[in-house]
Amino acid sequence: MYSNQTNPFKQLKEKCLIILDTMPLFIKFVIMSTVVLYLLNLLIPYVSLVLADIPYYTIYYYQLWRILTTPFMTTNILSIIFSLFFWYNDAFKLEREIGTVRYLLIFFMNTLFIQFLYCLITFLISIIIQNDILLKMKITSRGIRSEGLWPILLCDLTLLCLSNPNENIKFYFFPSVIKAKYYPIILFIIFTILSGFTIDPEILCGIGFGFLYHYYLKNKIKVSSNFASKMENSFLFRWMKNKKGFINNGGLGIPELQNNLENVRNVNISGNIDSTSQNDFKAFQGRGVSVGGGDNRSEATNNNYSSMSIGSNDDSNSGDSSKI
């Protein structure tokens, strides 16, 4: 028998409880919803048919809720494990940096646009094909579905790469480096080859929306800090404030998180000082947090993540309060 100090199961349980205790609220909701719906679908297989985005039912039967429920519905346990593994790290840092409601809004906004694009593409191709000859496209009017976090994850990956397009990165296990801007395209080609030269619309739409947002939509779609604060205090989200793991708009302002986000997202965060500031910024040497200051702060105009100006600065200082 194991002693209490060496019992691996007890140690694993304690580590899991620590992780759960420090996990931000919305990430906890995504993980728990995904696991619960997967288990429920094992008992009632009809659940996935109701919640996954099946364009035939979404378009012809106006079952629009599928667009927002599909990220939480996955029928493959390996897909759940790998998608959550790759999604968790960036999502954890981002929610702690910008706040729970703001990250929630951006998550569902990206989902909305990706799934709209997914339904549009599959609908148009199904009209062109009009039969079961797939022409190497995994699309039929009834059978195709989108489910899980992969579209969001691939959209984030694309935005990450486009934020520093000329950076050299290593391509997984291959002994070579490539430009970051080519990484999503090469990844899409590899997925297509591994699936028997069958194009997966989920991957196509996730990566495609990342490019579309970066080159066209990032200055047209905005979730400002001011809007996030208003939503945070609205009746829709007010109840969340007392929940464990909830993070207020503006985030925790943790330096290491700020540095990581600045490097990978190329966005302006609370540690950035406007070049026109008259007062030099000096790190606070005492205890506590620094609030306010004589420096002027500005929001980045070249945001590359989910149409958000990331930072804890007040939008009233940046003149962005009218953007959403």
Q: What is the pLDDT of residue 9?
A: 75
Q: Which helix (H) or strand (E) holds 121?
A: helix 100-129
184: in domain? yes
CATH of the domain at 189: 1.20.1540
148: in domain? yes
319: in domain? no
C-alpha closest to that of 300 among 262, 264, 259: 262
Backbone dihedral angles phi then psi of residue 177, each to the nearest 5 degrees: -120, 155
CB burial readout 133-168, b (16+ within 10 A) else e = eeeebebbbeebbbbbbbbbbbbbbbbbbbbbeeee
Distance CA 211, CA 194 (A): 23
Q: What is the pLDDT of residue 130?
A: 61
Angle between helices 100-129 and 77-98 (to 10 degrees): 140
274: in domain? no
175: in domain? yes
5: in domain? no
Q: What is the pLDDT of residue 6?
A: 67
138: in domain? yes
- Tell me the C-alpha to C-alpha distance, in Å, between residue 279 and each of 135, 273, 289: 64, 10, 18
Q: What is the pLDDT of residue 11?
A: 77
Q: What is the pLDDT of residue 296?
A: 39
205: in domain? yes
State the residue range of the domain holding 68. 15-217
Q: What is the pLDDT of residue 124?
A: 83
- Tell me the C-alpha to C-alpha distance, in Å, between residue 31 and each of 146, 170, 235, 266, 313: 18, 29, 24, 27, 30
Distance CA 161, CA 189 (A): 16
Distance CA 293, CA 316 (A): 15
Q: Is the pTM of this model over 0.75?
A: no
State the total domains in the chain.
1
SS3 168: strand
User: Running along the chain, 324 residues long, what does each successive block of 10 average in pLDDT?
Assistant: 64 77 92 96 91 88 93 93 91 91 94 94 77 44 77 91 89 77 88 80 92 91 88 92 90 50 37 39 44 39 42 40 38
Distance CA 283, CA 130 (A): 65
